[in-house]
């Protein structure tokens, strides 16, 4: 019999399972504490649960769904990049980025990605499947445990492999578990869903009963350029996407950011800055510029510091908040999809088994 993954359950479901086993109601709080505060990956570790109940859980459930195949740590900034193997052999990446005052975890929502943005390493591999909510939440738990952050607050961004809104139900379920005070107890400002398209789903996320922020991966100042860089995402016009992101902000007093990857000479000309400023004007969005981090066989060049400054200077008077997100882990394969595409050709053995 296949065991169910226990981190796939929302807190009300966990309570229902525990009480259906004839256990007192408080038992599910004990279990949730082990899973999300102490980040246990085996039931055997849950020493304040009766031994017989731990055995029953072990027989029917697994406490971790993925094993770490490899981990790279940057000597420059401590960024850690993880490659996980899932129960069916699928592989995904997650990244832990330590900053002075916070730690941000970047998680994947799909194995591969069905969109084919031309600047993205993930798009070079084949899309395999959606992740379950439990597989998403596990990435957070494993990274927190590995970084010694049990019981500490972190930020989570859905900016790893995959398009989160194409895995809508499981992503929303995972956010429920992240939000729940008995789960990872994270509020809207700590969770960012990054999407490249799908205005209807942006609105549906706004209407879902979950707390998160939104990042819209724009990357072009007009539909024409966008359709060459993000051909599938560009099925929907930029204007429609901005309106949907605005709905997201206005309907729940939430935050939305426009993300713009700086591809030297492609979307960084003076007229691009002017068109981008015109697009963003009047909307309550922050603009986050991301200098491109070239992959191993990239057809795009990195942008120089002088060109970044020039681009920013043209935006600043017109767009209220412009930030530049510096690449992390430049000495490791830290850009989205780099480690995964590398692993498709070099199969590595797991260094830590699920539940070990
Ligand atoms: S940038 Fe995001 S949406 Fe585009 S192919 Fe890569 S993972 Fe998919």
pLDDT tens, residue by residue, 306-351: 999 999 999 988 888 999 988 788 787 656 666 666 666 554 444 4
From 87, 24, 31, select the one nearest 57 (Cα to Cα).
Answer: 31
pLDDT of residue 250: 96
Q: Give me the architecture of the 4-62 domain, per CATH.
A: Orthogonal Bundle (1.10)
Alpha carbon separation from 168 to 77, 164, 179, 188, 202 (Å, rounded): 33, 6, 16, 17, 10
Residue minimizing CA distance to atom 4 of ligand 1: 117
Is 297's pLDDT higher than 80? Answer: no
113 Cα: distance to centroid of ligand 1 (angstroms):
6
Q: Of all residues in the chain, what percent carry a pLDDT higher than 70?
A: 92
Q: Of all residues in the chain, what percent carry a pLDDT higher than 90?
A: 81
Angle formed by the axes of helices 168-179 and 133-146, to 10°? 40
Of residues 297 and 315, the one with the higher pLDDT is: 315
308 Cα: distance to centroid of ligand 1 (angstroms):
23
Two structure tokens written together for 24? 């007192």
Read off the pLDDT of residues 94-126 as tens digits, 9 standing for 90 and up. Answer: 999 999 899 999 999 999 999 989 999 888 888
117 Cα: distance to centroid of ligand 1 (angstroms):
6
Read off the pLDDT of residues 2-25 as tens digits, 9 standing for 90 and up. Answer: 899 999 999 999 999 999 999 999
User: By the 8 A CB rule, do 229 and 266 touch?
Assistant: yes
Of residues 252 and 212, the one with the higher pLDDT is: 212
Best mutation site among 110, 114, 119, 162 for ligand 1 pocket (most ligand atoms within 8 Å of CB): 162
Q: CATH code for 67-332?
A: 3.20.20.70
User: By the 8 A CB rule, do 246 and 199 touch?
Assistant: no
Is 233's pLDDT higher than 60? Answer: yes
Dihedral sign computed on CA atoms, order 245, 132, 143, 17: positive
Is 178's pLDDT higher than 90? Answer: yes
Look at 84-98, 116-130, 137-151, 295-309 and tell me which has the smallest mean pLDDT.
Answer: 295-309
Two structure tokens written together for 8? 């796939």
pLDDT interval class at 294 (50, 70, 90): confident
Instruction: For the chain, give the mean pLDDT.
Output: 92
217 Cα: distance to centroid of ligand 1 (angstroms):
9
User: By the 8 A CB rule, do 301 and 294 touch?
Assistant: yes
* SS3 label, residue 36: helix
Residues with CB under 6 A from ligand 1: 113, 115-117, 120, 122-123, 161-163, 196, 336
**What ranges do the domains of the chain cover?**
4-62, 67-332
Is 354's pLDDT higher than 50? Answer: no
Residues identified as active-site = 93, 336
pLDDT of residue 89: 95
- Tell me how far apart the alpha carbons of residues 259 and 116 are, in angstroms, rounded to a whole number: 17
pLDDT interval class at 353 (50, 70, 90): very low
Query: Which pTM was predicted?
Result: 0.93
pLDDT of residue 328: 80
pLDDT of residue 311: 96
């Amino acid at each position: 019999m296949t065991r169910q993954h226990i981190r796939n359950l929302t807190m009300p479901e966990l309570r229902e399972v525990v009480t259906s086993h004839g256990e007192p109601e408080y038992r599910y709080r004990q279990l949730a504490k082990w899973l999300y505060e102490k980040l246990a990956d085996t039931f055997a570790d849950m020493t304040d649960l009766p031994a017989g109940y731990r055995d029953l859980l072990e027989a029917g459930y697994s406490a971790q769904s993925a094993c770490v195949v490899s981990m790279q740590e940057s000597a420059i900034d401590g960024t850690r990049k993880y490659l996980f193997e899932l129960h069916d052999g699928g592989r995904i990446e997650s990244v832990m980025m330590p900053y002075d005052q916070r730690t941000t975890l970047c998680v994947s929502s799909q194995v591969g990605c069905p969109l084919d943005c031309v600047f993205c390493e993930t798009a070079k591999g084949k899309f395999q499947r959606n992740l379950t909510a439990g597989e998403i939440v596990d990435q957070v738990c494993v990274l927190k445990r590995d970084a010694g952050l049990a019981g500490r607050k972190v930020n989570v961004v859905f900016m790893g492999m995959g398009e989160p809104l194409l895995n809508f139900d499981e992503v929303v379920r995972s956010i429920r578990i992240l939000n729940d005070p008995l789960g990872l107890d994270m509020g809207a400002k700590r969770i960012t869903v990054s999407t490249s398209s799908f205005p209807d789903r942006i609105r549906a996320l706004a209407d879902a009963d979950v707390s998160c922020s939104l990042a819209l991966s724009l990357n072009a100042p007009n539909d024409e350029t966008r359709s060459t860089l993000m051909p599938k995402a560009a099925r929907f016009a930029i204007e429609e996407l901005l309106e949907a992101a605005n709905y997201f902000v206005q309907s729940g007093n939430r935050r939305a950011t426009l993300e713009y990857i700086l591809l030297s000479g492609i979307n960084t000309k003076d007229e691009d800055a002017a068109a981008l400023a015109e697009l963003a004007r009047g909307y309550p969005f922050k603009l986050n510029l991301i200098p491109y981090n070239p992959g191993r066989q990239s057809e795009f060049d990195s942008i120089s510091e002088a060109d970044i400054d020039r681009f920013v200077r043209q935006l600043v008077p017109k767009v209220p908040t412009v930030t530049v997100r510096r690449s992390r882990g430049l000495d490791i394969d830290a850009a989205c999809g780099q480690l995964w595409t590398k692993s498709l050709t070099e199969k590595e053995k797991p260094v830590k088994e699920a539940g070990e």
